[in-house]
């Protein structure tokens, strides 16, 4: 999978802008003062997942910036470019694997008979 298709797949999910309306609305609902969800395991899990998405988005952005700088000749250090690209690739692979496992768990729960 190349980077463009990976970024497009994240964009189609609405996850390319982690600070976007979808996640802000969700986290805003969980961080109200009168909310009883704070301090629970779900809240910690959700915040951890959102932080991981922000980190992945940051690595992808850094990788793109390094590619542009290298292409424009602003830097001659190919090491920084390869490190940024590898970080972005690894973070994206872990994010996709996490999403796949989460969807698998959701489907298992939905198939349970009550």
Tens of pLDDT, residue by residue over 9-44, are 554 544 444 444 444 444 455 455 545 545 688 888
Instruction: Name the strand (E) or helix (H) holding 67.
Output: helix 41-72
Q: Tell me the per-residue pLDDT of 45-71, one tens digit each, with 9 for 90 and over.
A: 888 889 999 999 999 999 999 999 999
pLDDT in tens, 87-107: 999 999 999 999 999 999 999
CA distances from 79 to 39, 45, 55, 75, 86 (A): 42, 35, 21, 10, 11
What is the predicted pLDDT for the residue at 38?
A: 54
pTM of the model: 0.59
């Amino acid at each position: 999978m190349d980077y463009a298709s990976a970024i497009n797949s994240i964009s189609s999910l609405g996850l390319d802008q982690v600070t976007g309306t979808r996640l802000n609305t969700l986290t805003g609902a969980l961080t109200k003062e009168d909310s009883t969800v704070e301090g629970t395991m779900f809240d910690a899990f959700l915040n951890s997942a959102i932080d991981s998405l922000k980190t992945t988005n940051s690595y992808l952005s850094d990788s793109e910036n390094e590619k542009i700088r290298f292409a424009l000749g602003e830097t001659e250090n190919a090491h920084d470019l390869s490190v940024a690209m590898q970080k972005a690739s690894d973070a994206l692979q872990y994010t996709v694997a996490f999403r796949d496992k989460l969807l698998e768990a959701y489907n298992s729960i939905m198939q349970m008979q009550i």
